[in-house]
Structure 1
């Protein structure tokens, strides 16, 4: 039985209450539909006996559940920091953080093990014990969920989505997407458009867990804005930047706006869309999401 932040009955109560405190820390797989959701999802409440609870999206996908098209698990805020009870849990948390930020299509367990200074066998053992999936399963879930967000919210061609999400080739991306989601990437893009997930202009969305001091964050950034680089005002921050992704340098502008509670809208210049995979973890850290 995989560990979750709550016992199953308490997790079901959190689902009934749409408790946002567990958003990003708890996922529910519904056996009658094969779909997994966030606890804040507003679809019809499933029956208790049809629910299976997980701590991460990777665990749900390892059990062959597909992400919900309504609540979109890829938008969930990241889990709160792990408590450092012992060295193994600390290493497993560091490994997950490295994989969250990884934009190398050739990344491997051996690369990660060398980064942490442990053997790949030990890494696999502690990671499976802590997260319930292997490191590569965890990484693939992150890549697929990023690809899902880009397919739904951006106009990037499918091949560029594959590379932006960290896949080495379009063939590998298509195979992984069909295997996990039983859906072609182009079909998901059409479904997203029909569901109204995409706005009039391509933009990504990031979620944060309430409470979040939007006014305080903007008040902190405003006096530190660099003239000609950053501008803060009207609930938004605009800035220029350059970064490397998949061996290439990308430069352009971005705008983050705090509109709907619990959500940050991210607009990018066309030159930055291919680097979204490297940019999103930086934005989460920058805004403390």
Structure 2
């Protein structure tokens, strides 16, 4: 990323939240690096050094600010095709991939050589993938020390450090003080059985619209929305261990952040959990860029997000079971599926009783058992085909899966057409240009009679067609219920 010093300094002086997370400023007179939105007095221009990542700032000898807390900055969105692979590598590292694997495995996961990965990553972030990963571990540990009551040993392990001794040594070496200093600064009100974090976003955020979308599709045993708060159950696999728990998310508009509460049972999977939540709520979104491109469509409701998912397999089944029936009808069938095949979960918030079925668990069921929830024979066959493909690893549904190959694999399954594939791409693959042109609601909303005509009409919104679809769905609903 090329950073223009004058532009960056203007953003720092204005505390412009549009740039939060896109660069960091190191101040030579203090040796501290900050987010552009830091509330401290604006440093002199001559003392400012700008970096594309927190890792680059730390590589150059700067320590993180204890006021603005760089670890809370929102992440990058994947906009430029040239940087997509580097951003994909960063997402994997943020989720703790290098805590359990090495560089050759990371390169293999992305389908490129290790040499090429190092080169493109350094161009994008100014550091090597290993240096980036080391910084992310330290920043995660800093966050856990400040915001949770986890014992220091558990903090070190959760952040990916091999031993408490190495953790203490590296932390003091890079930050100039012992980890215990942050634990002393943390408030005494932190609960020992839960963990609370903030995930920043770039305003505006159409929070009510986002929750309305999720609420209309909420599957009762695993998720619920009430009083503008989102709750759901969650299962994560880290290495050979499976962690089960739940999450609670609410908006804190005054801080431009989401407040996330997790149970201590997920302490070993914090990076993975926070990564899932960032993608579920599309927190890497740049509304200033997207809303400007969509023009009048976005003026009615700026800050629209495309809801993602915590589980690509879940989104695939939602899309398949929801074909050609109402949202309420799909929700009813999915509730039966979860109650019949989902794993019960104890000690979850009121009303949440199960985890969504894993592909492995559903693959062990017979077609007759799955059809018994109320599916047609053809729909059951499609569900089972996708289940087998995901369970065997032949199909991956996540934002890092290869787009074209994954769409082709989905369309090759009998019963999956373009609408279903595009919906899965929108929410499961995180593809911002996905657009279900075969959607009859969208066709009626724009007064067009065919998917082909709508597809041509939607080209004006590329590469943000998924956001245009969300705006159109909401506007159609508002007009039909007025």
Whether TM exceeds 0.5 here: the answer is yes
Q: Structure 1 residue 199: deviation in Å?
A: 5.5
Aligned to 2:167: 173
Q: Structure 1 residue 222: deviation in Å?
A: 0.6
Which of structures 1 and 2 has the larger relative contact order (alpha carbons within 8 angstroms, sep 6+)?
1
Determine if contact 1:103/1:278 at 8 Å carries over to the other structure: no
Tell me, what secondary structure is at the counterpart of 2:50?
strand
CA distance in 2 between counterparts of 1:223 and 1:115 reads 35
Number of residue pairs matched by the alignment: 279
Q: Structure 1 residue 14: deviation in Å?
A: 0.8
CA distance in 2 between counterparts of 1:143 and 1:116 reads 21
Aligned to 1:227: 220
Tell me, what secondary structure is at the counterpart of 1:105?
helix
Q: Structure 1 residue 44: deviation in Å?
A: 1.3
Unaligned 5+ segments in structure 2 are 284-482
CA distance in 2 between counterparts of 1:61 and 1:82 reads 25
Deviations 1:179-236 (A, max 9, x none): 2111211112223x2xx6x855441111111111101111011111111221101121
Determine if contact 1:256/1:267 at 8 Å carries over to the other structure: yes
Greater share of helix residues, 1 or 2?
A: 2
CA distance in 2 between counterparts of 1:175 and 1:200 reads 26
Determine if contact 2:97/2:106 at 8 Å carries over to the other structure: no
Q: Does 1:187 align with 2:186?
A: no
CA distance in 2 between counterparts of 1:130 and 1:240 reads 35
Distance 1:99 1:106, change over 3 A: same
Deviations 1:101-124 (A, max 9, x none): 234523221111222233322322
Distance 1:42 1:279, change over 3 A: same
Deviates more, 1:150-159 or 1:76-85: 76-85
Tell me, what secondary structure is at the counterpart of 2:279?
helix
Aligned to 1:22: 19
Aligned to 2:76: 79
Tell me, what secondary structure is at the counterpart of 2:26?
strand
Deviations 1:74-119 (A, max 9, x none): 111112324114xxx3332322222222345232211112222333
Distance 1:231 1:117, change over 3 A: closer
Deviations 1:230-285 (A, max 9, x none): 11011211122221224322112221111333111111122123321221101100
CA distance in 2 between counterparts of 1:106 and 1:182 reads 27
Deviates more, 1:239-248 or 1:32-41: 239-248
Q: Structure 1 residue 132: deviation in Å?
A: 0.9
Determine if contact 1:103/1:246 at 8 Å carries over to the other structure: no
Aligned to 1:102: 96
Determine if contact 1:82/1:93 at 8 Å carries over to the other structure: no
- Greater than 3 Å deviation, 4+ residue runs: 198-202
Aligned to 1:269: 263
Q: Structure 1 residue 134: deviation in Å?
A: 0.6
Q: Structure 1 residue 10: deviation in Å?
A: 1.7
Aligned to 2:463: none
CA distance in 2 between counterparts of 1:108 and 1:182 reads 28
Tell me, what secondary structure is at the counterpart of 1:250?
strand
CA distance in 2 between counterparts of 1:203 and 1:232 reads 19
Distance 1:243 1:90, change over 3 A: closer
CA distance in 1 between counterparts of 2:143 and 2:70 reads 10
Determine if contact 2:149/2:190 at 8 Å carries over to the other structure: no
Larger radius of gyration: 2
Aligned to 1:259: 252
Aligned to 1:163: 157
CA distance in 2 between counterparts of 1:203 and 1:109 reads 31
Determine if contact 1:177/1:184 at 8 Å carries over to the other structure: yes
Tell me, what secondary structure is at the counterpart of 2:264?
coil
Aligned to 1:3: 2
| TM-score of the superposed pair, with normalisation by structure 1 | 0.90
Deviates more, 1:262-271 or 1:12-21: 262-271
CA distance in 2 between counterparts of 1:126 and 1:103 reads 18
Deviations 1:54-86 (A, max 9, x none): 11111111111111110011111112324114x
CA distance in 1 between counterparts of 2:261 and 2:224 reads 14
**Which of 232, 244, 249 is the matching residue for 1:239?**
232
Distance 1:17 1:244, change over 3 A: same
Unaligned 5+ segments in structure 1 are none
